[in-house]
Structure 1
Amino acid sequence: MTSELILGGQKSGKSRRAEQRAAAWLAASADHRAVFVATAQPWDDEMRARIARHQSDRAERVPGMLTIEEPLLLAAAIAQHSRADTLVVVDCLTLWLTNLLMPAEFTENSPSVQVAPAAVAMFLEAISAAPGPLVLVGNEIGLGVIPMGREVRAFVDALGSLNQQVAQRCQRVTLMAAGLPLTLKDAA
C-alpha cells in the first residue's frame, strides 16, 4: 500500500473508507500497525459530541488502531509515526487547514496566518519522505457556488490548492460520493 488522498463532501464516506484501508492493512500482517492522527478540536459542545462519537465508532470498527490528537503539527506527527510497517491515517486536512488559517482566537495579525505556508510546505515534504503508507482524508468543497465573503473564498482557494498539492504527492486519489469510491488517480 502507498499513499492515498481520499476526498469528498461531508458524510460522503471518506472517514469510513480510510478506516477500511486501516483495517485491511492491520489484517494483512500481524506485524502491521496503524495510527490515526485526528486534527479536530473540541471548540463547542456539538464538536465535543461529534469527536466522542467518531472515537467510539473508530474503536469499534478498527480496534487495533492507535489514535493521537494533533490539530497543528502534521509534519511532525507523520515523521514520528510513519514506518514501513505502520499505516498513518490523517483525518482531516480540511480541519487542519482551518486550525492553521482560522483559529478560534483569530485576529488579522494572528501568528497562524504567517506560519500556514511554512506548515503546509513541511507537511507536503513529510508526505514525500514518509517511509510507510499514508491515508489522508480531506473535503472537496470547491464544487458548489462561489461563497460570499473574502475570508471564505480565500479558504476555499487555499483548500483547493492544498488538495491539488497533496494529490500530486499521493499515488492514489479517491473521490467519495454517497459512500461510493471513484478512483481519480492510481499510480500504485
Structure 2
Amino acid sequence: MSIELVLGGARSGKSRYAESVVNQALQQQVELGSCPDSKKHYVATAEAFDDEMRQRIQHHQRSRDSLWQQWQTPLELAQQLKQFDAKDIVLIDCLTLWMNNQIFYAGESCNDELLECKVQQLVEALLECKAHVVLVSNEVGLGVVPLGKVSRLFVDNAGRMNQRLASIADKVVFVAAGLPMTLKHDVKAGS
C-alpha cells in the first residue's frame, strides 16, 4: 500500500505528472517481477455537464494509452477503492472535482459536516486499500478568497481535504509549470 498526493493549480501539469508516476510504478513492478499481473486504473471524477467539459475529458482520454482500465466515479470513491488490491496501481483524478460533485449533488443540504464525513470515508478507504494510489487535487489556497457562500464552502473544504490527505500520504508533490516539487516523502522500511 502506498498513497501519493499530487497537488497543483489549474493547467500546472499535475495530471501528466501523476500519469507518469503510475507508468513508472507499473514498469518497476514488471521489471522486478514482484507483481507480473499488475494493472493500472484511471478513476475519473469529472462529469461532462457541457461541451467544453466533454472536450477536456476527451483530450485527457486520448492522451492515455490503452493499458489503462477506466472507471467513472463522480461520487463514491470510498466504494470504488474497495475494488482494488495489491497488484493494482490506481490514479484518482481529480479530488477537487469530486468535492465539487459532493456539493453539487447535495444541493442546499450541503454543509461542512457532510463534506467532512465524505472526506473521512475517503481517508478510511485509502488507509484500508492495498493498492498503490496516486491522488490528484487542485491546490485551491493560492487564489483569491471567494465571495459567495458555496464557493467558500468549496474552497474551505477542498483545503481541509488536501491537508487530511497530505497527512496520510507517503509522498506529496506540488506541481507548478510542469515541474514537480516534493513536499513530503516518507520512506517505508525495506524500500
On whether the aligned pair clears a TM of 0.5, the verdict is yes
Tell me the residue number matched to 2:103: 101
Task: Give 1:115 shift.
Answer: 4.7
Instruction: Note the 1:47-126 alignment, pairs <5 A.
Output: 47-59=53-65, 63-81=66-84, 83-103=85-105, 107-109=107-109, 115-126=114-125
Tell me the residue number matched to 2:33: none
CA contact (8 A) 1:25 1:32 kept: no
TM-score, normalised to structure 1's length?
0.90
| 17-26 or 84-93, larger mean C-alpha shift | 17-26
Task: State the superposition RMSD in angstroms.
Answer: 1.8
Distance, in Å, in 2 between the alignment partners of 1:107 and 1:154 is 12
What percent identity do the matched residue pairs reach? 41
Distance, in Å, in 1 between the alignment partners of 2:109 and 2:95 is 23
Tell me the residue number matched to 1:17: 17
CA contact (8 A) 1:36 1:65 kept: yes
SS in structure 1 opposite 2:126? Answer: helix
Task: Give 1:120 shift.
Answer: 1.7
Distance, in Å, in 1 between the alignment partners of 2:97 and 2:21 is 21
TM-score, normalised to structure 2's length?
0.88
Unaligned runs of 5+ in 1: none
Tell me the residue number matched to 2:180: 181
Task: Give 1:38 shift.
Answer: 0.2
What are the Cα deviations for residues 35-72 of structure 1, in whole angstroms up to 9, with x where unaligned?
1100000101111111111111123xxx3121110000
- What amino acid is the match of 1:66? Q
SS in structure 1 opposite 2:99? Answer: helix
Instruction: Note the 1:161-180 alignment, pairs <5 A.
Output: 161-180=160-179
- What amino acid is the match of 2:15? S
Task: Give 1:91 shift.
Answer: 0.2
